[in-house]
Every structure is written in C-alpha cells, then in structure tokens.
Amino acid sequence: MILQQTDRTLTLIFERTDWQRLSGTLYGFGMAALGALLLYLAVRVLVVMPNTSALALVALFIAGAALAGFNAVTTLLEADCRTDFDLIARKIVLTKTGLFSRRHGPVPFEEVTELSAREGFIGSGRMLIAGLQLRNGIQWRIGYDVIWVRPASISNIPDLLQRVRLVTGLPGIDLR
C-alpha cells in the first residue's frame, strides 16, 4: 500500500503486484477449465449411464463445477483500491478498479466507526486486511498484505493506517 498526501487530500492506494495479478488470472482460468471439465463429465455420465445410480455422481460433478465457477469468478473480479480522504470536505471515496470498476462514497468522516486492520483469509491466503467500518454496518476493504508465514506486525499496513488516523482523526484500533 502507498500513502500520498497533499494539502487537500490523503490517498491510500492498494495495487496488487504483477505476480499476484498473474497468479490470480491463471488460478481463475484454471478453475474455469476445471468447472467446464466437471460439467462435461456430468453430461457424459448422464449419456453413458442414464440410470438412477449415476445421479449421485452427476450431482457431485455439478456441485464441483459450481464451486470451481465461484472460485474463478471471485478471483477474476479481484480489484485494486484507491481510497481518497478529502481533508477539506471531510469525505471518503473508495474506487475499485479491475475487470469492473466501482466507486463507493462519498461518505463523511463522521460515518466511519473504525479504520483498522485485521487478520483474515482472502482466497486461500492468510492476509492482513485493511478496512473501514461504517456506522450502518457496511465494511469497505481498502487493501491487504500477504502474511502467510510472517507475523502481521511486520506489514506496513498498521503504520499507514495509524498515519491516516492521525491526519483525519478517524477512530480505529492498532493491530500491535
């Protein structure tokens, strides 16, 4: 994550590395291929063995294809995030760019109940996830850092979030 500051704005930018983009794309296409193969096998089983004993196998293949499709879609829709904190207007805008770009906000600083990081999982990886919690219960994920083996305290995310909280006055909890 990168933090940029001007007199008027504070911008927190999260961009996936080239390796993360490549591996995510390959994983997504691999899951799509696996889903297509499982659907083909389900149809093949129905054609070759059209009796009731094959229905359990067909259901298993369809369930596997659905899970593979879900994994493919969530991986391919992963987005980079840009969070703009307007210090003059005291509003926050989150812009996600990827296959489909989305914009959230603007939200006043007063609507934010917490700006903090937590440990969690994205896909199959252990991550330190930076997020904004809004008063209405909505959570914005504004970035993450891979911490599979190393402790979360080594990530630069807690320090960046602390700097943002100091400048904006937003509430939050330190990870350390």
- How many whole angstroms separate alpha carbon 2 and alpha carbon 21? 18
Element (H, E) at 34: helix 18-48
Q: What are phi and psi of 16, to 5 degrees?
A: -70, 150
Instruction: Report in angstroms the alpha-carbon separations of 27 from 33, 49, 149.
Output: 10, 32, 21
- How many whole angstroms separate alpha carbon 136 and alpha carbon 66? 32
- How many whole angstroms separate alpha carbon 129 and alpha carbon 134? 16
- Arithmetic mean of pLDDT over the chain: 83
* Mean pLDDT, residues 129-143: 87
Domain ranges of the chain: 2-16+80-168, 21-76
7, 9, 164, 148: which is closest to 86 by C-alpha? 9
Q: Determine the 3-state secondary structure of 140 from DSSP.
A: strand
In tens, the pLDDT along 5-19 reads 888 888 888 887 788
In tens, the pLDDT along 28-73 reads 889 899 999 999 988 888 888 777 678 888 888 899 999 988 888 8
149, 150, 130: which is closest to 140 by C-alpha? 130
